Chains A and B, each alone.
Chain A
Amino acid sequence: MKHLLIAAGILSATSAIAADKPQLTVYTYDSFVSDWGPGPQVKEAFEAVCECELNLVGVEDGAALLSRIRLEGENSDADVVLGLDTNLITAAKETGLFAPNSVSTDFALPIEWSDDTFTPYDWGYFAFVHNADATAPTNFRDLADSDTKIIIQDPRSSTPGLGLLMWVKAAYGDEAPKIWAGLADNIVTVTKGWSEAYGLFLEGESEMVLSYTTSPAYHLIAEEDASKAAAAFDEGNYLQVEVAAKLAATDQPELADQFLNFMVTDAFQQIIPTTNWMYPAVTPADGLPEGFDTLTVPAKSLLFSPDEAAAVRDEALAEWQNALSQ
Chain B
Amino acid sequence: MAERAKPVSAWPGIGAAALVAALILGTLAAVALRAETSGGFSPADWAALRFTLTQAVLSALFSVALAVPVARALARRRFPGRRALIALLGAPFILPVIVAILGLLQVFGRSGWISDLLGLFGLPPIRIYGLHGVVLAHVFFNLPLATRLVLQAWQEIPAERFRLAAQLGCNGMAMFRLIELPMLKRALPGVVAVIFAICLTSFAVALTLGGGPRATTIELAIYQAFTYDFDLGRAALLSALQLALTAAAALAALRFSRGDGFGAGLDRALRRWDGGAPALDVFWISAAAAFLLLPLASVAISGLAGVFDMPALVLRAALTSVLVAAASTLILLMLALPMATAVASGRYGLVELSGILGLAASPLVIGTGLFILIRPIANPTTLALPVTALVNAAMALPFALRILVPAAKDITARHGRLALSLNMGKWTFLRRVLLPRMRPQIGFAAGLGAALSMGDLGVIALFADPQIATLPLQIYRLMGAYQMQAAAGGALLLLFLSMGAFWLLDRGGRWHAEA
Assuming the A-B contacts A199-B98, A321-B44, A321-B213, are A188 and B224 also in contact, with contact meaning beta carbons closer than 8 angstroms in the complex?
Answer: no
Interface 9-mer from B105-113, B163-171, B258-266: B105-113
CB contacts (< 8 Å) of B423 on chain A: these are none
* A36-B109 in contact (CB<8A): no
Complex Cα distance A156/B29, Å? 25
* A196-B204 in contact (CB<8A): yes
B209 within 8 A of A: yes
CB contacts (< 8 Å) of B464 on chain A: these are 30, 57-60
Count the A-B residue pairs with Cβ separation under 8 angstroms: how many? Answer: 148
User: Which residue on chain B has the smallest CB distance to residue A61?
Assistant: B227
A56 within 8 A of B: yes
Interface 9-mer from B11-19, B71-79, B394-402, B480-488: B480-488
A200 within 8 A of B: yes
B479 within 8 A of A: yes
* A190-B213 in contact (CB<8A): yes
* A192-B204 in contact (CB<8A): yes
Interface centre among B110, B204, B209 (most CB of A within 10 A): B110
Interface centre among A39, A198, A199, A320 (most CB of B within 10 A): A199
Closest CB of chain B to A326's CB: distance in Å?
Answer: 9
* A30-B106 in contact (CB<8A): no
A310 within 8 A of B: no
A34 within 8 A of B: yes
Complex Cα distance A59/B34, Å? 20
CB contacts (< 8 Å) of B129 on chain A: these are 188-189
Closest CB of chain A to B460's CB: distance in Å?
Answer: 11
Closest CB of chain B to A107's CB: distance in Å?
Answer: 26
Interface size on A, residues (CB 8 A): 57
Complex Cα distance A154/B223, Å? 12
* A195-B466 in contact (CB<8A): no
CB contacts (< 8 Å) of B480 on chain A: these are 30-31, 34, 193-195
* B102-A200 in contact (CB<8A): yes
The residue from B211, B224, B375 contacting A157, defined by CB atoms under 8 A apart:
B224
* A157-B223 in contact (CB<8A): yes
B85-112 contact mask (Cβ, 8 Å, vs A): 1 or 0:
0000000000000100110011001110
Closest CB of chain B to A111's CB: distance in Å?
Answer: 25
A181-197 contact mask (Cβ, 8 Å, vs B): 1 or 0:
00010011111111110
User: Which residue on chain B has the smallest CB distance to residue A72?
Assistant: B375
* A195-B98 in contact (CB<8A): yes
User: Which residue on chain A has the smallest CB distance to residue B109?
Assistant: A205
CB contacts (< 8 Å) of B157 on chain A: these are none
Complex Cα distance A204/B208, Å? 15
B449-473 contact mask (Cβ, 8 Å, vs A): 1 or 0:
0000000000001101110000000
B359-377 contact mask (Cβ, 8 Å, vs A): 1 or 0:
0000000001001100100
Assuming the A-B contacts A190-B212, A200-B105, A203-B102, are A67 and B381 also in contact, with contact meaning beta carbons closer than 8 angstroms in the complex?
Answer: no
CB contacts (< 8 Å) of B477 on chain A: these are 30-31, 34-36
CB contacts (< 8 Å) of A70 on chain B: these are 230
B181 within 8 A of A: no
Known pairs A154-B207, A184-B212 / 7 extra A-B pairs, C-beta < 8 Å: A37-B481, A154-B220, A156-B228, A189-B129, A205-B105, A218-B482, A321-B44
